[in-house]
Chain A
Amino acid sequence: MQALFGQLLVGLINGSFYALLSLGLAIIFGLLNVVNFAHGAQYMMGAFAAWMAATYLGVGYFWALLLVPAAMGLVGVAVERLLLRRLYGLDNLYGLLLTFGLTLIAEGLFHQAYGNSGSTYPVPAALRGGVNLGFMYLPLYRAWVVVVSVVVCAASWFVIERTKLGAYLRAGTENPRLLQAFGVNVPLMFTLTYGFGVALAAFAGVMAAPVYQVTPLMGSSVIMVVFAVVVIGGMGSIAGSIFTGIGIGLVEGLTRYLYPEASSVVVFVVMALVLLVRPAGLFGRQR
C-alpha cells in the first residue's frame, strides 16, 4: 500500500510536467494549427538557459524562473516572425517539419557545446529538504513542482476561457479572418501566442533543471509522451491537455506499481484505446 501511494505521488509529479508541456503545445496548436515539434527542445533550452544563467551570470533560481521564460519567449517570437510565418498559407504539416528540423539543430548544437553527460543544477536553498508523509519522503521541491504547475495551468486556463484576451484567442482559432475584420491584429496575436507557448516550455525546463540532469536530450525523452498526452486529450483542447497530462502521470504511476515492465508503454496503449473509442481524443471535438 505504501509503495502504491508512493508511485502515485511520483506519477502526480511527472503528470505536472506533462500538463505544463502539453498545455503549451495545445495553446500553440489551438491558434496556429502548428504541432510544435520543437517543444521538447525548447524545454531543454529552458533548463540549459537556467543553468547557464546560474553558472556564467550568477542568476538564482527564482529570477531564472522569471527571466528564462521571458528570454525564450523572445526566441519564440523570433522563430515565429522569421520562419514559421512563411508557412501559414500552406499545409500545416510543414510547420511540424520545420519545427522538427529546428529540434535537430538545437539538440545538435547543445550536444556539440556541452556533451551529453549533462550538468547539475542545484535545488534552490529555500526548497531543500522534505516532509515525511508516512508512506514516503516527499522532497519539498517536488511538492513545489506540483503546486506551481497546477497554479500556472489553472491561470492559463482562466485567461483563455474567461477573459477578453482569451476570447480573442478562441475567436482567432475559429475564424482568424473575421477577427481581423473586427480590427484585431491577428498576426501579432499569432506571434505572441507562439512566444507564450515557448515561454511555457522554457518555464517547465527551469522547473525541471533541479530535479533532472540538464542534458541536450532531456527534451526528446519526454516530448514523445507529451505528444501522446495531447493526442489522448484531444489536440488543441486546453483543459483536456491539463487533465490528461496529470491523468497519464497517475496511470504511469499505477502501472509502475502493478506491472513495472509496461510503464513506458502504457501511455501509448491508452492512446490506442482512446482512439478506438473516440478518434478525436477525450476532450476533442468530433469533426
Chain B
Amino acid sequence: MSGRALRAWAWAAMVLVGLAAPYLVYPVFAMNVLCLALFASAFNLLLGYAGLLSFGHAAFLGSAAYVTGITLRTWGLPTELGVLAGTAVATLLGLVFGALAIRRSGIYFAMITLGFAQLVYFLVVQLPWTGGEDGLQGIPRGKALGVLALDGPITTYYFVYAAFLAGFWLIQRAIHSPFGHVLRAIRENEPRALSLGYDVARYKLLAFVLSAALSGLAGSLKAVVLQFASLSDVHWHRSGEVVLMTLLGGMGTVLGPSVGALLVVTLENYLADVGSWVTVITGAVFVACVLAFRRGIVGEVRALVRRSFIGGKP
C-alpha cells in the first residue's frame, strides 16, 4: 500500500466517522472535539511545519469567540457573519502579534507570544463588554445562511462539521503546497532557506497569520456551539492544552492534532469528577510525551506502518 493510498483511506475513514459521530456520541461533545481539533490543527501548522512554538494561541481562539459572541448576541447578525467577524479579528491580531514575534525564534518566540496572550487575557478581564468572570452567556446560535436554523444539536453539528472540513482542507492544502515545503525547509535549516533566496520572515508571518485565522475560526465555532465565550478560552492553560493535544497526537502530522484533541477532550470529560487529578494526569501525559514519545500517537503509528508496509526508511 502506498503512502498516498493510505492517506486516502485515512481521509475516507475520517469523513465517515465525522458524519456518523452525532448519532454515536453526545453531539455537543462531538462538536467540542471538532472545534478543538481544528484549533490544534491550526496550531500544528505553526509548530509542526514552521517549527515555531507559540505559547499564546489561546488569544486567537478566545478573542474570536468573544467577537462572535458580541456580534451574534448584541448586534444580532446572522451566524456566518458572526463567525467571519470572529475569524477576521483573530487574523488581524495574528498579523500584529506575528509581526512582532517572528523577529525572534525558539524560546524567545514562545515567551513573547505568551506575553501577548496575557495582554489579551487581562484586556478581556477588564473591558466592560466581555462580561469579565461571567463571560458572554447565552449567545444565540441563530440561522446559518439565513435559512438553516441551528437550534437542534444535529443541524448545528453538521454546520460545525462543514466548517471544520473546510478549515482542515485548507491546512492540508497549505502543508502540501510549495508554501508548506518552504516552511519545512525553514524549520530544518533557516540560514539555508535564507541563502536560497526565500524571504523567511514573510513565510513565517504568513504561517502565523494563517494559523491565527484558523484558530479564530475554531474559537468562533466554539462560541456558536457552546453559546458561550469565557475567560478560560483566553487563559494560558488553553494555550498549554493545545500544545499538549498536538504533542500527544503527533506534531507535524496531518491527523495527529485531531487525534490529540479527541483524547484530551475525552480525558477531561470522563475525569471531570476526580477533581485536581485531571491536572496531575494532564501533566503526567505531558511529561511522558516529552520524554518518551515525542513523535506522538500518529507519528508512532506512521513510523510503524512505514516500517512494516513500505519497508523504507521512516
Contacts and interface: CB of A to CB of B under 8 A. Distances in A.
* Any A–B CB pair closer than 8 Å: yes
A108 B112 CA distance: 26
A105 B280 contact: yes
Contacts of B104: 279-280
A103 interface: yes
Given A108-B278, A227-B115, A280-B104, A102 B283 contact: yes
A104 B283 contact: yes
Given A93-B53, A112-B275, A268-B122, A235 B280 contact: no
Contact of B247 (A97, A230, A261, A268): A97
A226 to B, nearest CB: 11
Contacts of B100: 272, 275-276
B15 interface: no
B279 A104 contact: yes
Interface string A131-152: 0000000000000000000000
Given A224-B236, A272-B100, A230 B111 contact: yes
Contacts of A261: 126
A93 B126 contact: no
A192 B283 CA distance: 25
Chain A residues touching B, range: 35 or more
Contacts of A170: none
Nearest to B291: A86
A106 B119 CA distance: 26
Nearest to A232: B115
Contacts of A35: 107, 110-111
Nearest to B123: A265
Interface string B111-130: 11011101100110110000
B277 interface: yes
Contacts of A75: none
A108 B294 contact: no
A268 B106 contact: no
A108 B290 contact: no
A93 B283 contact: no
A98 B279 CA distance: 14
Interface string A262-287: 00110011011001100110000000
B103 A279 contact: yes
A228 B103 CA distance: 17
Interface in A179-210: none
B276 A111 contact: yes
A94 B236 CA distance: 18
Contact of A97 (B125, B279, B280, B286): B286
A59 interface: no
Contact of B122 (A97, A264, A272, A276): A264
B19 interface: no
Given A235-B108, A276-B100, A228 B280 contact: no
Contacts of A102: 283, 287
Contacts of B55: 96
A98 B280 contact: no
Among A29, A87, A279, the most chain B Cβ lie within 10 Å of the Cβ of A279
Given A107-B276, A108-B282, A271-B119, 4 more contacts: A98-B291, A104-B283, A107-B279, A108-B283
29 contacts: A35-B110, A86-B291, A94-B290, A94-B294, A96-B53, A97-B247, A97-B286, A98-B286, A100-B286, A101-B289, A105-B280, A106-B283, A107-B279, A107-B283, A108-B276, A108-B277, A108-B280, A108-B283, A111-B275, A112-B275, A224-B114, A227-B115, A228-B118, A231-B111, A268-B116, A268-B118, A272-B115, A272-B119, A275-B100
Interface of B: 51, 53, 55, 100, 103-104, 106-108, 110-112, 114-116, 118-119, 122-123, 125-126, 236, 240, 243, 247, 275-287, 289-291, 294
